[in-house]
Amino acid sequence: MNLIIDVGNSFVKLAVFHEDKLKHKEVVDLDNIIEHIKFLKKEYASIKRAIISSVGKLKQTEINKIKEYFDLLVLSDETSLPFKNSYKTPKTLGVDRIALVCAAVQQFPNNDTLIIDAGTCITYDFVTSNNEYLGGAISLGLSMRYKSLNNLTANLPLLELEIPKSIVGGSTKESIHSGVVYGVLKEIDGVIETYKLKYLDLTVILTGGDTKILSNQLKSSIFANSNFLLEGLNYILQFNSNE
């Protein structure tokens, strides 16, 4: 069994896989990561290997502690990957984006695939049918757009996400919801359509924290999978274990 440790800026996703099957998933505070990992080690005694993907701050002492429990792989730009990376600045490519591409290569082999991760940021990552990663785009996510309108203006309030009933906002609050939500939806649909002009048989995956909110609102045909990144990390661990 494999333990997947996905470290964000504030929280950590922990997942247990048996081969390709997700058996357990939880979100924990970064401060309590070691205690939760100890608990999982007791609950799933057959876990032998683990992988860490960290875009947040994980202390070296914590990494060393995890190494005491498992055969540990820390994902980086030097990790062996199942695709050709043609990104011009590979050392600046986020490990989360690497994991998403690996999931696409495993689950949609020989497909031109666009992966859209709708979280704090919206990232777009494209891998060709020849397993070559070309790059993509980074944009503002829903929550970041709400916060920017509040932080960078004098009078606009900070609102919680709400799906607008109409594209025409009849008040300031309704106008903000319309601008943020429809702005994101039209952006995503527009990006997909632009890719489809060049890659006619395009597979599109939507993942990330805002998957449920956005998936039913988009007009484009997509595969929605909120666990895509975790599945990609599990595949990277399998790929490196088989070398």
145 annotated binding-site participant: no
175 annotated binding-site participant: no
Q: Cα torsion for 152, 157, 162, 167, to the nearest 10°?
A: -70
CA 15 – CA 8 distance, rounded (Å): 14
The letter for the amino acid at 209 is G
Comparing CA positions, the residue from 75, 99, 64, 85 lying closest to residue 235 is: 99
CA 65 – CA 239 distance, rounded (Å): 24
Tokens of 43: 């609950």
Instruction: Please indicate whether residue 96 is annotated as part of the active site.
Output: yes
141 annotated binding-site participant: no
Catalytic annotation, pick one of 20, 96, 112, 189? 96
49 annotated binding-site participant: no
Contact in structure between 1 and 46 (CB atoms under 8 Å): yes
Tokens of 53: 């993907």
CB-count burial class (<10 Å; 0-12, 13-18, 19+) for 118: buried
CA 12 – CA 30 distance, rounded (Å): 6
13 annotated binding-site participant: yes
190 annotated binding-site participant: no
97 annotated binding-site participant: yes
In which order are the strands placed within the sheet that holds 223-224?
A: 84-85, 132-140, 121-127, 112-118, 202-207, 223-224
220 annotated binding-site participant: no
211 annotated binding-site participant: no
136 annotated binding-site participant: no
6 annotated binding-site participant: yes
CA 174 – CA 171 distance, rounded (Å): 5
Q: Tell me the backbone φ, ψ of residue 35, rounded to 5 degrees.
A: -65, -40
172 annotated binding-site participant: yes
95 annotated binding-site participant: yes
Catalytic residues: 96
Which segments are annotated as binding site?
6-13, 87, 94-97, 117, 120, 172
Which segments are annotated as binding site for ATP?
6-13, 120
Which segments are annotated as binding site for substrate?
87, 94-97, 172
